[in-house]
Chains A and B, each alone.
Chain A
Amino acid sequence: MDLSINIQEDKIFAAVTGRIDTSTSPLFEERMQPLLENANKEIELDLQGLTYISSAGLRLFLILQKKVSTAGGKLVLRHMANDIANVFKMTGFSKIFNIVD
């Protein structure tokens, strides 16, 4: 799992690669702190390299989305793979998140 974050003035570009499962989710939670701190801005999270996500990862996505919604920012998920999209769909997360191709 790797998360790269590029903070611009009014927008943040982030990209995650690898797996977010039970064992890697603590690392993701730690790495995503800058995103939570800038939750009032527009965050674009690229999921092209994300190969696997478990409920532990979904939980962190939900935390981020809640924070962004409260702070008045915006979270956009890009380039989601099919199996990840299935999980999002299965869990109703696709209705909560702004997912674009």
Chain B
Amino acid sequence: MARKEERTTFARKQTLSRRLSRIITIWACIIFFAFSIGANMNARRMVSIDAEHDAFVQLDYINLEVNSVLNNVVTLISNYEPLVSEELQKTHFDSSTIAYLTQHIVNSDSNIHSFVLSLDPKISSSQEGFSLLASRDSLGRTIITQTGKNKEYMQTNCYRHTSKTNTGVWSSPYESYYTPGVWICSYSQPLHNKSGEFIGMITANISTSRLTQFLGHVNIRPNALTFIISDDGELLLSDSCHSTLKDSFIARHEDSSDTLWQSIEQKMHAGEHGECTLMNSDETVLYYYSPLSQLQGWSIGVACNKSEILMGLNKQTRTVVIFDILVAICMFLLISRLIKRHTKPIRELANSAREIAQGNYNASLPEPSPNSELMELQDAFDYMQHSLDFYNRQLKKQASEKQRLASEKELSRVIQEGMIPHPTQAIIDCPYTDIYGIIRPAREVGGDLYDYFITPTSMFIAIGDVSGKGIPASLLMTEVKTMLHTLKNAQLGPARMINISNHFIIESNRADMFVTMFLGTVEFSTGKFTYCNAGHNPPILCSPDGTTVELPVESNMPLGCFDDIDFVEQEVFLTPGQLVMLYTDGISEAENAFLERYGVPRLLQFISDSRALAVQHIAEGLLNHIIHFMTGSDQSDDISMLGLRYHHPELAPKPFATTLYMSNNLNELEKITAILNELQTHCPLTDELKSSINLALEEIVVNIINYAYTDTKHHQIAIYLSLFQNKLEFAVSDDGKAFDPTKAPDADIDAPIEDRSIGGLGIFIARQTMDEMEYIRVDETNILLMRKTI
């Protein structure tokens, strides 16, 4: 038990330091992680802004590069146009001059893929017009081809559109007419004569790859995709583009049902500048776009996976999380260690407390700690330890004192008990007398006493009650008892004994205590009962016919009050069989829980009812009856009684009394035979009669053993056997359930055999054998009285 408690305390202590460390760590972690999450979110925002910034910087760069290419072309054409116009306005222009100029232009800008000069037929010498084509061979050299046929060319949208304008125009991308497979973009400028008439057109073609070459130069992320969308919605990508986005991007571009992409394209086409996020099943793509300033309706854009933008950040986040966890573990260990170190004095105090609890009041306390709170606790502990030690010593002292007192009291009780003659001794002293006495002190020792003294011709009896109870009363009682013992040998009359006693007590009594006493002598031959009362309650006189009265007595004064009192002596003649019961007021004044007194009427009734019993059984029954009456309240006064039944010595047979105790076991039945054999030695009992008595007793006891008990426990059955004169009396008592055998139905002895029942004969046999049978139930005990005259 103690070990278990120890373990529990230990576990609780462990939990305290662990719990503290845990709580602190958890809260620290929560705060730490909250900061981390906040920082992470902020970083994401910053990364997004950075990516956007990067994207537009890149787009601006591409814009500039593309512009420079286009501006070069436009500048060249602008410079070329007045020269060609001038030459053409000559009446006979020199085609070689024009070819030279053309070659010069084409050579001066490597971006120019090809060049076309086309003259309206009306100014050319040929009906079919004049056209000049400059292109590059595989080595990049310029080849000039002059042809007169340009009718088809003049039918193209470009030509017709240009003929109506005055300025140069960039076309949408298209596949080259002269070098199939190459996509080009043309800058066309009309030629006018001096009078402002349209005379032809010059066109410089540049390959779209010259524009897209910049797309791959700078990229915000390795897998980002940069693209150009022309005014007619054509998608231009860099030849060297290896973006993983490429396929899905092209698919999206070609999918006319993708409304989100369509809206982006519209915005781009409208020359807007912005950012947009598109999601598909497994990725989120960010788009940044910006218009190409030189080309109306053209736009450049960059697409990038969002995950790629945040990749670095995610990597960093993972590192931070791992770092956080490591920090949390370190923090927990550190805090545990710190708490353990700081709670060490408390643990030591707890250990000391346990030691003190086990009875070691001198257990050493830990060294004082500089911590002020712990110091206070330690002081309190120190104080508690000393107080406990002090109280424990006190307690031990009191306990040993109590024990000493108890053992002294017990010793006193034994001594006092020894002063009272043992009741059964009387029977041995005087075989003709039926006398029995009981004293039951309220405490270990009491102030009640009884005494008797038997001579061959008479018997002296006395009962007394010292005022008060306990040790003081018992001391005076001892003195009175000693005095009686001295006086009874002097053969004085009762009144004389009372008077001497009174003087004696007055002389020795310093504590103003008094003694009530009744004493008397019975003369065996005549039944003369001479008695004297000193303030004691009158004894009960019970005749065999049941008449029960209080013996008429002069009350007189108790002993020890006044010296000059003359105590009156009285006398009655007892008839054989009459019972005199002396008692103290502990009986008549016994109170139950309702403060109701046992009272004299109840006493008279009980004695009258049980008069047929031997005096011992009357006395024991009366005591039980009173104890039962007092159930629920304590005995407040000493209870004493002394009963005497007068028998004429010549008429009285040799009395015999014995008690047989047996357990509820059929094997014990043999004891009945044994006790009857013993009885046979005391009185003339025929074998036949002995046998029938044996049968009756056995039937009663078998009935009790078989039917009285509802449990299987051990019970005691007592048979009180007494022989007076020629009357045998048996009292069978048991603590079984109430059963009155006298009320059991008789067996029908005249019934024919078929109607005779198998059982129920035992009690009938007993009833038939015995002369009288009486049943009383006292205190959960069945008492069956049976008498047989022999």
Contact = CB atoms under 8 A, between A and B. Distances in A.
A62 to B, nearest CB: 6
B758 interface: yes
Given A59-B759, A63-B758, A86-B692, A92 B669 contact: no
A22 B692 contact: no
Interface residues of A, number: 23
B695 A52 contact: yes
Contacts of A91: 747, 749, 761, 764-765, 768
Nearest to A19: B673
Assign chain B's interface to a size class. Answer: 20 to 34
Interface string A78-101: 000011001100111001100000
Contacts of B695: 52, 54, 87
Contacts of B761: 55, 58-59, 91
B749 A55 contact: no
B688 A82 contact: yes
B362 interface: no
B666 interface: yes
Contacts of B747: 91-92
5 contacts: A55-B699, A59-B758, A69-B753, A92-B756, A96-B752
A22 B666 contact: yes
Q: Summarize A's interface: helix, strand, loop or mixed.
A: helix
Label chain B's interface by main secondary structure. helix
Nearest to B762: A55
A22 B705 CA distance: 11
A92 B751 contact: yes
Contacts of B758: 59, 62-63
Contacts, number: 71
A15 interface: no
A83 B754 CA distance: 25
A95 B750 contact: yes
A54 B691 contact: no
Contacts of B750: 92, 95
A81 B515 CA distance: 65
Contact of B691 (A52, A58, A95): A52
A66 B753 CA distance: 7
Contacts of A3: none
Nearest to A51: B691
A97 to B, nearest CB: 9
Interface in B687-717: 687-688, 691-692, 694-695, 698-699, 702
Nearest to B688: A83
Contact of A55 (B667, B687, B752, B765): B765
Nearest to A96: B753
Contact of B762 (A23, A54, A65, A92): A54
A100 to B, nearest CB: 17
A87 B696 CA distance: 10
Given A63-B758, A91-B749, 15 more contacts: A21-B669, A22-B698, A54-B762, A55-B699, A55-B761, A56-B762, A59-B759, A62-B758, A69-B754, A83-B691, A83-B692, A86-B688, A90-B749, A91-B747, A95-B750
Contacts of A87: 692, 695, 765
B498 to A, nearest CB: 57
Contact of B669 (A23, A69, A82, A95): A23
Interface in B733-790: 747-754, 756, 758-759, 761-762, 764-765, 768-769
Contacts of A59: 758-759, 761
Nearest to A63: B758
